[in-house]
Amino acid sequence: MEELNIESLSPKVHEKYSENLYKFLKRRGLKSPQKVFIDENSDFWIGYFYDNDFIGSRLMNVLTNDQTSTWCFSSKNTPKLNLSEFFWRDYEKIGRCAIDRNHQIHFLKSDSRYKEEGDTRVCQWCGHKQKLRKWTETIERSEWINA
Ligand SMILES: [Zn+2]
């Protein structure tokens, strides 16, 4: 992997980039190259391996909790992680959509993300299209009353 250009992933460059991830990379990425891994549940992890120990964090924690600290997972506590080879390339292109491909997460500072038209919205970061589903639910209720 070529070296990550952290400054090009700043939220000042584009809103699609996470401010918290940028802070994390500024704090951690200069000392040790940060790689992104996927576990068996398709969750992303960020960090690196030192011998067999993993030093890092869940990517979602970094994004949502403004957390720049990392943990060391000894080899027997490390979940099975597979390197996500193209993560940084994808992140550079589509920003936070690389983490939320199904577009189910509401990110902070994401006003520029969707353009709505009627019952359709298109993601301006990656081009993903969604339709608004509407439905009516009938609720059956019951209670005991005095006879
Ligand atoms: Zn998107």
pLDDT one-digit tens code per residue, 63-116: 887 777 778 888 777 788 999 999 999 999 999 999 999 999 999 899 999 999
Q: What is the Cα 90 distance to its own chain's centre?
A: 12
For tokens 């990425």, name the residue.
29
Report if residue 31 sits inside a domain.
Answer: yes
Q: What are phi and psi of 101, to 5 degrees?
A: -65, -25
Strands 53-58 and 71-73 turn out to be antiparallel
Report if residue 126 sits inside a domain.
Answer: no
How many domains does the chain contain in total? 1
Q: What is the dihedral of CA 16, 24, 108, 131, to 10 degrees?
A: 50
Spatial distance between the Cα atoms of 89 and 105, rounded to a whole number of angstroms:
21
Protein residues near ligand 1, an ion, with CB under 5 A = 97, 123, 125-126, 128
What spacing in Å lies between the alpha carbon of 95 and ligand 1's midpoint? 8
What spacing in Å lies between the alpha carbon of 60 and ligand 1's midpoint? 16
Kind plus residue range of the DSSP H or E element containing 92 = helix 87-94
What spacing in Å lies between the alpha carbon of 72 and ligand 1's midpoint? 32
Report if residue 62 sits inside a domain.
Answer: yes
Token pair, residue 2, equals: 């070529």
pTM above 0.75, yes or no: yes
Report if residue 122 sits inside a domain.
Answer: no
Domain, as residue range, for 92: 6-111
Report if residue 28 sits inside a domain.
Answer: yes
Report if residue 117 sits inside a domain.
Answer: no
Summarize pLDDT for 6-18 with one digit per residue, the tens: 999 999 999 999 9
Report if residue 125 sits inside a domain.
Answer: no
What spacing in Å lies between the alpha carbon of 68 and ligand 1's midpoint? 25
Report if residue 12 sits inside a domain.
Answer: yes
**Which one has a higher pLDDT value, 72 or 1?**
72
